[in-house]
Amino acid sequence: MFRLTPVRSGALGLLAALGLYAAFSAEYFGLEILTEIAILSMLVIALDMVAGFGGMVSLCHGALLGIGAYAYAGLTTMTGADPFLALLGAVVLTGIAGFLVGAVCAGSQGIYFIMVTLAFGQMAYAFFFESAAFGGDDGIAGVPRLDLSGLGVDLGDSRSFVLFCMILLALVTLFAAHILRSGLGRTLVGLKTNEQRMRALGVRSWRAKAYTFGISGMIAGLAGVLAAQHTMYISPGLLNWTVSGEALVVVILGGLGTLVGPLVGATAFVLIKHEVSALTPYWHLVTGVILIAVVMSGANGIFGFFEAQLERLRNRSKPAVEGKLKQGSVHDA
Amino acid sequence: MLEVKGLDKHFGAIHVTRNVSMKLERGERRVILGPNGAGKTTFFNQIVGEVAPDKGQIWLDGEEVTQLAVPDRALKGLSRSYQKNTLFDILTVGENLGIAASIHTHAARSPLRDPLRDRAVREIVAEVAHQVHLEPYLDAPVTDVSYGVRRQLEVGVALATRPKVILMDEPTSGIGPEMAHSFHRMLNELPRDLTLLIIEHDMDLAFDVADSITVLNYGEVVFDGTPEAARGSDLLKEIYLGSWEDA
Ligand SMILES: Nc1ncnc2c1ncn2[C@@H]1O[C@H](COP(=O)(O)OP(=O)(O)OP(=O)(O)O)[C@@H](O)[C@H]1O
Ligand SMILES: [Mg+2]
């Protein structure tokens, strides 16, 4: 379940403002970085839904993104489908793929869950790598962007494309927040907190897990469609398990189970990658050290750290009610 | 309403349930007594499906449920509370009741609507909060309320799925005899058609609520009868003064 606290709405507002400022002021290279941040954020929000809120650590989200990208690229370049319909088709397909992965994995816990998702991811990777129809190792080139000329928008323009990605990211964030406050989202968090009790109350746990994985898959698929449109070329590398691993690093870096954490984490990750890789080829070492520091600090990622500080400030100005509650019992009730 | 026939279970060398049979009529309040390790909790675990019996059958409201999974039995009207609090610690008292109520109304399945705003759910939460005296605490996080209140909530969550039968595993454990008596007065005010099977540790406390008493010892039913008969039983006195002492 997602709680929209004042700190979180403030953080979302701030990120949106910064994003818009950057989108209007940045030059070509800055816009590329911003697009990368927006697409990675979307993938990581999908991962946060299952991992942060549902406790299902997935190593196949890169593959879901890749399936979305391939579905979009395949439908547009091979069947000549309308890009908009191809986008919808890709999202539906990744939704189904996510649902199936969730349904199959629902019974596994911990490391076994991770391994089964990894196996799914590797199967998808191997399929596209070997498939001649999808260009095998070479991938697919000439992937078109959506045609929004009817709205007077040319997505071939970098600034328009980044704004398009950011609008979709905002919608996805709101959508995810809504889902997580729904019956499904609350059931998911109940299962993460106390699966035994949820089952004893009448919840068939695979159902909530599979549906959430399906919705998460749709979001990852949309991120894949955007990634394909962004570079206009895709290869099996998109489905590599390292993409899933990177998404996991980002969600832990930003903060799990907050929906804000993925945005913060993706921004930090992409900026570190570009800034540090300009100085040294060992930029992975730098992200590694930062990740270790964040985890060792005991905070829930970068956003979790600031959130905890701000909540402490807010609570200091509130009267204490705890003493009264602690006395309660059936005796005086 | 609930019938158990010839239930039998081994954990390795331990014969934890020995050919136990039991029948509860609708609205009956039966207390299970027995020393530590007598197999009381394991007996409950088999009824709800968390542990599979080696032998025997479980019938709920005229239907055999022995092969059903835990959630499916729950959806047929069987509910339980736990000896050790099994709550949603990150939520408030009201949200704990709401999550259980929304499972009953199926609002928990909706990917779009917030079940805690659902009218049917809110009605159940209000009613259960009244029944188990939780009204003052609904907005408090579970971690902020006292242990006694959490014991009330443990039973409240079990009530919020509107079950036909509730199994309560030592609902008064750890709250002291005086509060335990008030807890039982609270249970006695629950709707009379609700069937209750309650594990109690203390024989005196059992008399508060019991229409009938079953005593388990080493996994075996050693007594089954009315509270009056239990009071006069020499066998019970013996168990009570023997192994019971350290219970
Ligand atoms: N999952 C299990 N695996 C193996 N042995 C178990 C398991 N659960 C319970 N036991 C054993 O079965 C016996 C009965 O345990 P149970 O918890 O049912 O007793 P109880 O009557 O509820 O005791 P208490 O009054 O302490 O709650 C004990 O010896 C216990 O160690
Ligand atoms: Mg027990």
Nearest residue, CB atoms, A322 vs list B109, B144, B178: B144
Ligand 1: residue of B15, B40, B245 to mutate (most ligand atoms within 8 A of CB) is B40
Q: How far is CA B115 from CA A50, A52, A294, in A?
A: 20, 21, 35
In whole angstroms, what is the distance from residue B195 CA to residue B198 CA?
10
Strand arrangement of the beta sheet that strand B55-60 belongs to: B14-24, B2-11, B55-60, B63-64
Q: How confident is the model at residue B246 (pLDDT cuts 50, 70, 90)?
A: very low
| The pLDDT value given to residue B245 | 45
Q: How confident is the model at residue B240 (pLDDT cuts 50, 70, 90)?
A: low
Contact between chains at A201 and B140 (C-beta distance less than 8 A): no
Q: Does A284 lie at the interface with B, CB-CB under 8 angstroms? A: no
Contact between chains at B108 and A187 (C-beta distance less than 8 A): yes
Q: Does A159 lie at the interface with B, CB-CB under 8 angstroms? A: no
In whole angstroms, what is the distance from residue B168 CA to residue A48 CA?
37
Q: How confident is the model at residue B31 (pLDDT cuts 50, 70, 90)?
A: very high
Q: Which residues line ligand 1 (CB under 6 A)?
A: B 11, 14, 16, 34, 36-42, 83
| The pLDDT value given to residue A320 | 53
Q: Does A219 lie at the interface with B, CB-CB under 8 angstroms? A: no
Q: What is the ipTM of this complex?
A: 0.90
From the list B135, B200, B187, B199, the residue with the least C-alpha distance to B159 is B187
User: The pTM is what?
Assistant: 0.88
The predicted-structure confidence for B138-150, as pLDDT tens digits, reads as follows: 999 999 999 999 9
CB < 8 Å to A258, chain B: none
In whole angstroms, what is the distance from residue B205 CA to residue B188 CA?
13
Write down the H helix ranges in chain A. 6-25, 28-48, 61-78, 83-105, 110-130, 158-181, 183-200, 205-231, 241-254, 261-279, 283-296, 301-316, 322-326
Chain B residues 131-170 within an 8 A CB cutoff of chain A: 133-137, 140, 144-146, 148-149, 151-152, 157, 161
Q: Which amino acid is at A303?
A: F
The predicted-structure confidence for B130-182, as pLDDT tens digits, reads as follows: 999 999 999 999 999 999 999 999 999 999 999 999 999 999 998 888 888 88
Whether the Cβ atoms of residue A53 and residue A181 lie closer than 8 Å to each other = no
From the list B66, B76, B120, B68, the residue with the least C-alpha distance to B98 is B120
Whether the Cβ atoms of residue B165 and residue B79 lie closer than 8 Å to each other = yes
Nearest residue, CB atoms, B110 vs list A183, A196, A321: A183
In whole angstroms, what is the distance from residue B164 CA to residue B244 CA?
32
In whole angstroms, what is the distance from residue A307 CA to residue B16 CA?
50
Q: Which amino acid is at A310?
A: L
Q: Does B219 lie at the interface with A, CB-CB under 8 angstroms? A: no
**CA atoms within 13 A of residue B246's CA, in its CB half-sphere:** 5
In whole angstroms, what is the distance from residue A232 CA to residue A136 CA?
17
The predicted-structure confidence for B82-127, as pLDDT tens digits, reads as follows: 999 999 998 999 999 999 999 999 999 888 899 999 999 999 999 9
In whole angstroms, what is the distance from residue A47 CA to residue A219 CA?
9
Please, what is the angle between helix A241-254 and helix A61-78, to 10°? 120
**Average pLDDT for consecutive 10-residue bins of chain A (333 residues)?**
86 95 93 96 97 94 97 94 96 97 90 94 94 90 91 91 97 95 93 93 93 97 97 93 94 94 96 89 88 89 91 75 52 42
Cβ atoms within 10 Å of A111's Cβ, excluding its own: 9
Contact between chains at B116 and A200 (C-beta distance less than 8 A): no
| The pLDDT value given to residue A123 | 95
Contact between chains at B137 and A196 (C-beta distance less than 8 A): no
Chain B residues 39-78 within an 8 A CB cutoff of chain A: 48, 50, 69-72, 74-75
The predicted-structure confidence for A23-56, as pLDDT tens digits, reads as follows: 999 999 999 999 999 999 999 999 999 999 999 9
CB < 8 Å to A184, chain B: 108-111
